[in-house]
Amino acid sequence: LTLVGLFAWWRLRLPSRPLMVLVISVLVIDVFVIGTWFGVEQVIDRLQKTVQVEQDEWVVQDKNRIDTDRESLQIIRQKPIAGWGGGSFYTVYPAWRGDDQMFMDHAHNDYLEFTVEYGLVGLALLGAFVLLCFLHAAQGLRDRDTPRTFGISFASAMAIVAMMIHASVDFNLQIPANAAWFIVLCVLPFTVRD
């Protein structure tokens, strides 16, 4: 997010004060507030673990995110081109899960889950769509004379980057409302450009 903010700041001839405040506040909020509030160790631990089952305040079982990713890659190797079919992760995964035998309905990594279900062809199509939308938003950042175009393009680029980061550690795009909102944010720059 900071990189998109810095890119927008660089594209402006005279960087605006509100944009400078936004970029700096993203850094401050991310690093200090969230790190202090939750603790850096807790954030790192949460990123490493996919599932933590608690019973009577004791952790009885953990599922490591790296193990789930590794098992998902094994599934992809079986049908790499077209995948196993939409919505099939939760039925296909049990055959490859490790010794813990935990039920996983999602991969907690949208990229891997999408590749398991739709294969490399589906992942390439999704990547091409997102890249096209991001490049169109980046073009809108060049339009410094129209604040509306610049603002919508900036918001769209920030949203695309945020969702792509989030997709690497969670199954956010598997939630229909989030997926629909992501599509709206992706195509938004096309509504303000010729």
pLDDT tens sequence across 30-60:
667 666 766 667 666 655 565 554 455 544 3
At 109, the amino acid letter reads: N
**What is this structure's pTM?**
0.70
Dist. CA 58–CA 43, nearest whole Å = 19
Distances (CA, A) of 181 to 101, 173, 185: 34, 9, 6
136 with 157: CB under 8 angstroms?
A: no
- pLDDT for the residue 70: 86
Predicted confidence at residue 3, as pLDDT, reads: 66
pLDDT at position 61 is 43
Q: Which of 181, 127, 137 is nearest to 158 (CA)?
A: 137
Question: Phi/psi of residue 105, each to 5°?
Answer: -90, -15
Give exposure, 8-23, as e/b (b: 16+ Cβ within 10 Å). bbebeeeeeeebeebb
The enclosing H or E element of 18 equals helix 17-28
Q: Percentage of the chain with pLDDT > 70? A: 68
CA atoms within 13 A on the CB side of 114: 21
